[in-house]
Amino acid sequence: AQTVTQSQPEMSVQEAETVTLSCTYDTSENNYYLFWYKQPPSRQMILVIRQEAYKQQNATENRFSVNFQKAAKSFSLKISDSQLGDTAMYFCAFMQNSGGSNYKLTFGKGTLLTVNP
Amino acid sequence: SQTIHQWPATLVQPVGSPLSLECTVEGTSNPNLYWYRQAAGRGLQLLFYSVGIGQISSEVPQNLSASRPQDRQFILSSKKLLLSDSGFYLCAWSPIRSGGLDTQYFGPGTRLTVL
C-alpha cells in the first residue's frame, strides 16, 4: 500500500522568514503525482502546488517551491517570505492509478504551521 | 471557471437518524467526483468515487452510501447514523483526462456531529 509520511506534526516560523516542510512517500510505481494542500482554519482544502513525477524540474508557485527527490522518495515544501495567512495545516498527498478508473489521493497526517508576527 | 458547492455547511444529527449531504460542481462536464472524510486531527480518508452517472465505487465498507443522479451532483447518504460517523466531509472533483492523473479540487466541506 502507498504511504505518505509527514514527520513534523507542528512547526513555527517568524513572519518573512523561510520554512521547509518534509514529506516522504512509498511507491513502486513510476507514474504518479505529488501535491501539497493547505487547510486553513476554515477547513477548506486548497491546492498549493503539484509535481508530476516524470518532470525533473521542481515545481514553483510564487513563494512556494518544492524539492522533489525521486530516488529518495522525498517531496519537501519550501515557503519563502512567510506571511500570517500561511498559518494552516499542510498536507502532502500522493496520487497514482489504483486500478481501473480510480486515481486515488493518499494523504499524510499533516503538519500544522504557525507563522508568528 | 469551475466551482464546487457543498451543503449543508454544518449539521448536527441524533444517532440513528438519516443523512443526506449534497455536492454539486459548476463549470465542467463529466468530472470525476469523490467523497472524503476527515476525522479530528487526521488526514483525509477516501470514502467513494464516481467516474460517471450511476457509477459509484466504495473504498471503505461502512453504513454510508453514495449516489450520482446527475453528471455534476454527488450525494452522500446514510439510513442510520452512528456516533463514529461524526467528522468533516469533503467533496472533490477532478477533470477526466487522458492518463487519469490530475489535480483534485475540494469543496468547502460539511461538519457533521452525531450526538
* Residue B84: DSSP 8-state: G
pLDDT for A96? 83
pLDDT (0 to 100) of residue B70: 94
pLDDT in tens for each of the 115 residues of chain B? 889 999 999 999 999 999 999 999 999 988 999 999 998 767 788 999 998 899 998 888 688 999 999 999 999 999 999 999 999 999 999 987 655 678 999 999 999 999 9
At B109 the pLDDT is 96
Contact (CB<8Å) A44/B106? yes
Predicted confidence at residue B62, as pLDDT, reads 80
Spell out which chain B residues touch chain A, with contact meaning CB-CB distance below 8 angstroms: 32, 34, 38, 42-44, 46, 49, 51, 57, 59, 88, 90, 92, 94, 99-109, 111
The pLDDT-based confidence of A93 (bands split at 50, 70, 90) is very high
**pLDDT of A102 above 70:** no
Asked if A91's CB is within 8 angstroms of B43's CB, the reply is yes
Q: Which residue has the higher pLDDT, B60 or A57?
A: A57
Is A55 an interface residue toward B (CB < 8 Å)?
no
Which pLDDT does position A48 carry in this prediction?
97
Cβ-defined contact of A50 to B94 (cutoff 8 Å): no
Q: What pLDDT is recorded for position A70? A: 94
pLDDT of residue A99: 65
Q: What is the pLDDT of residue A57?
A: 94
Cis bond leading into B8, ω under 30°? Answer: yes
> What whole-number distance in Å separates Cα of residue A49 and Cα of residue B65?
31
3-state secondary structure of B49: strand
> Given CB atoms, is A48 within the 8 Å cutoff of chain B?
no
Instruction: Read off the amino acid at residue B63.
Output: N
pLDDT at B25: 96
- State residue B16's pLDDT score: 97
Which residue in B57, B106, B109 is closest to A102 by CB distance? B57
A98 pLDDT tier (thresholds 50, 70, 90): low
CA distances from residue A13 to A75, A79, A81, A112 in whole angstroms, order as listed: 20, 10, 10, 11
Per-residue burial over A66-84, b if 16 or more Cβ lie within 10 Å, else e, is: bebeeeebebbbebeebee
Q: Which residue of A has its CA nearest to B98?
A: A101
Q: Which residues of B touch A33 (CB under 8 A)?
A: 101-103
